[in-house]
Structure 1
Amino acid sequence: MSEQRTGPTQVGRLGPLFAGVWLFFLLDPLTEGWRHRDEVRGVLGIVATVAFAAFYMVLWSRARHVRGRLTVSDAPVSFALPYLGGMTALGAAMVACLGETGLACTVYIAVAAVMTLPLKRAVVVAALLIAASLALSAANDWGGQIGLVFGITAATVAIFGMRTVMRRNLDLLDSEQENARLAVENERNRFARDLHDILGHSLTVITVKAELAQRLVDIDPERARAELADLERLSRDALADVRRAVSGYRELTLPGELARAREALAAAGIESRLPQSTDDVPSQLRELFAWTVREGVTNVIRHSGAHSCEIVLTPTSAEIRDDGRGPEVADDGSGLTGLRERSAAVGATLVTRSLEPGFSLQVSA
């Protein structure tokens, strides 16, 4: 994923100033040119040094802009060669006019190569610069150039390290953006799946009952009225489930808890047998039974060691059965205590019992 990054930061605005500070090392060639300002070579040396500094700053700004668009990838060779060629020509003029002090340009050319070229090519350029500097020093008896060699090497390594850090930071930013996009997409898919689980069966039953009521209107009006009343109840329950899901996505709904129970049991490797419909459960008991399903399935997964789990719904009860050993503390757990209080608030009772084998948690109104 590639996204354009806009909006200058404080560091971005001060970037040219940071780059310009390193032009301090061109003061020696300028000083040497000023000492010979009465000579042609002195004037040409000053002009070449100033032009070299300008080339370097323009290259730095342009490379930064191009690399930003390319997510810190290597700039095109067609972009790099004119600048590197111009700096090399101006550097050669500095050495020709100013002598040994003109070799300061080699460090900047090495930095420019690392900024704009792939690593292997940049290393070749740096090696050639070192070889050329040593050869010129030997030919003109300028003495050892250990400091210059160290400067070229250190600058090459430093700029390469900076590019590596920038690339990794931007890769990390891209990864974070991709993870955020995937999280939103997963949440959207999960929301769509939960809505399907909540509404799918209810709408199917509503459609079937509407068709039945239409056929019974003329041949059995009483039966048709009963179907229409049931149809109204189912529609209201479905609408209430959707409103709960939309207004507070994590608020409990009975169809939603059944859907999550199916996923959680499958993830735990427990075979599940779940009801296909919640239509028979009265509206006033749906939230309580949703809490029952959540607490019962949570206990099955955490404590039971079960291989299978069954959820049974009737108009007056919700039961979760498993073939495991049951929770270690069946009556005193905080989850069961809370569920017992919820049950009592609507006049229902909670009963836990051991099976052979297994465990049962049942809430009955």
Structure 2
Amino acid sequence: MDSPGQLPQRPLGRLGPLFAAIWLAFLIDPVRAAWTELPAAHAWLGLVATLTFAATYLGLWVALRTGRARLATAPPPAHRIAWTAALTGLAAVMVAALGQVGTASVVYLAVAVVMLFPYVVFVPVVLALAAAVLVTGVTVPGWEHSPWLAFSVVAASLAVFGVRSMMNRNIELIRAHEASAELAAERERTRLARDLHDILGHSLTVITIKAELAGRMLDVDVDRTRAELADLERLSRDALADVRRAVQGYRDLSLPAELARARTALEAAEIEATLPNSTDDVPTELRELFAWTVREGVTNVIRHSGARRCTVALAPTRAEVRDDGRGPLGDDVPGSGLTGLQERASAAGARLVTRRLDPGWSLVVEAR
């Protein structure tokens, strides 16, 4: 069976084959006719053909059901032709051996064609089978006119077509649901990767700088070294708490806390910092976005810029981080942190603008 995207197979109910087998009851007449004429050779042939036809039809039903459990709407073309050829040959043997009573197989043959082939194929085949039943009932000597059988061929085909259409729609709904679930999982993975980059990138950068500073001060100023080590412990705990919040989906940040962290980080990196003393002018809906802006901007200044001075400016609709260095990565290509910040800005209806200064670099997030 075709399997879209190697999706896992759904569990099959145990009563499905039994339900399909119930409809084979209409083959009782050919079996009875063959049984009453035993031990004639044609009767044995008709009995074996009828039982084999029933088993083949039931096997086709189970195969189609198994394929649909894997969200496949139909077998490959070669399999369809093989199933149809097998049922057609067995039906022909039934008719040749048992006479008109063997035409009961035509209903099942029509249903199989409906289950296996598209509309443009099964419609003419079903009509041809119904017409053949009517014509042979009139033209073959000893046979009776059988409009009821022709009606059964058409009615059963229409009923199975309705069931098939419903099943195919259900398969499409399941596929769409699973695609949506996969997309949601991918978005969550992207969100988690972005947040971990933003959180750990900033925190580990500060921790590294403070560790280097503590190492340099170890033999010079023991008290300063103790203070730096205490800060390292505090920053590590903060980073752990931030990671837990990111994993749990709580991504809100505190703008005042980010400014305080930025001041500590810039001082540790021996970069002169000019930061706002108040965040009161920033509206509530922009505080989280501007906190991310400060975090990403300051992290890039410390990591990449080689700057001596850094300025953070806040306005009601604007946050800017600028420095007098060479900018992130030394070029205009945004890193994953800037990409994540761009996504957050777009989601909040704002825009991210980066530009080179003379000298320096500017990162601005501005509400539209």
**TM-score, normalisation: structure 2:** 0.61
Deviations 1:26-70 (A, max 9, x none): 12223333454475544443333223223322333344445545x
Paired residue type of 2:240: V
8 Å Cα contact 1:33-1:98 kept in structure 2: yes
Aligned positions of 1:290-329 closer than 5 A: 297-298=284-285, 322=316
2:9 to 5, 14, 25: 5
Aligned positions of 1:326-345 closer than 5 A: none
- 2:252 maps to 257
8 Å Cα contact 2:12-2:69 kept in structure 1: no
Q: CA 1:197/1:228 → structure 2, altered by over 3 Å: closer, same or farther?
A: farther
Q: Secondary structure at the residue paired with 2:260?
A: coil
Q: CA 1:40/1:211 → structure 2, altered by over 3 Å: closer, same or farther?
A: closer
1:232 aligns with 2:230: yes
Deviations 1:264-300 (A, max 9, x none): xxxxxxxxxx996432689xxxxxxxxx99x952499
Deviations 1:101-151 (A, max 9, x none): 222110111122223333433333323312322221221264543322222
Partners of 2:283 and 2:173 lie apart in 1 by 41
Paired residue type of 1:257: D
Partners of 1:247 and 1:145 lie apart in 2 by 75
1:187 aligns with 2:185: no
Deviations 1:150-195 (A, max 9, x none): 2222222222332333333233333333333333332232223223
Q: Give aligned pairs, total.
A: 280
2:260 to 269, 272, 278: 278
8 Å Cα contact 2:114-2:122 kept in structure 1: yes
Partners of 2:293 and 2:119 lie apart in 1 by 67
Q: CA 1:244/1:206 → structure 2, altered by over 3 Å: closer, same or farther?
A: closer
- 1:326 maps to none
Q: CA 1:54/1:195 → structure 2, altered by over 3 Å: closer, same or farther?
A: closer
Q: CA 1:257/1:309 → structure 2, altered by over 3 Å: closer, same or farther?
A: closer
8 Å Cα contact 2:34-2:44 kept in structure 1: yes
Partners of 1:29 and 1:251 lie apart in 2 by 67
Q: CA 1:235/1:281 → structure 2, altered by over 3 Å: closer, same or farther?
A: farther
Q: Secondary structure at the residue paired with 1:73?
A: coil
- 2:17 maps to 16
Q: CA 1:190/1:85 → structure 2, altered by over 3 Å: closer, same or farther?
A: closer
- 1:98 maps to 98
Partners of 1:310 and 1:95 lie apart in 2 by 82
Paired residue type of 1:101: V
Identity in percent: 37
Q: CA 1:65/1:226 → structure 2, altered by over 3 Å: closer, same or farther?
A: same
Structure 1's unaligned 5+ residue stretches are 262-273, 283-291, 302-307, 314-319, 324-365
Instruction: Let me know the Cα RMSD of the aligned residues.
Output: 4.2
8 Å Cα contact 1:52-1:90 kept in structure 2: yes
Structure 2's unaligned 5+ residue stretches are 265-278, 295-313, 318-368
Q: Secondary structure at the residue paired with 1:93?
A: helix
- 2:177 maps to 176
Shift of 1:216: 5.6
Q: Secondary structure at the residue paired with 2:206?
A: helix
User: Is the deviation greater in 55-64 or in 15-24?
Assistant: 55-64
- 1:156 maps to 157
8 Å Cα contact 1:51-1:90 kept in structure 2: yes
Q: CA 1:14/1:183 → structure 2, altered by over 3 Å: closer, same or farther?
A: same
- 2:52 maps to 51
- 2:136 maps to 136
Partners of 1:116 and 1:177 lie apart in 2 by 25
Deviations 1:210-261 (A, max 9, x none): 445555667xx35x84376246325413423423542785597xxx5348x8
Paired residue type of 1:207: T
Paired residue type of 2:87: M
8 Å Cα contact 2:213-2:228 kept in structure 1: no
- 1:243 maps to 241
Partners of 2:64 and 2:83 lie apart in 1 by 10
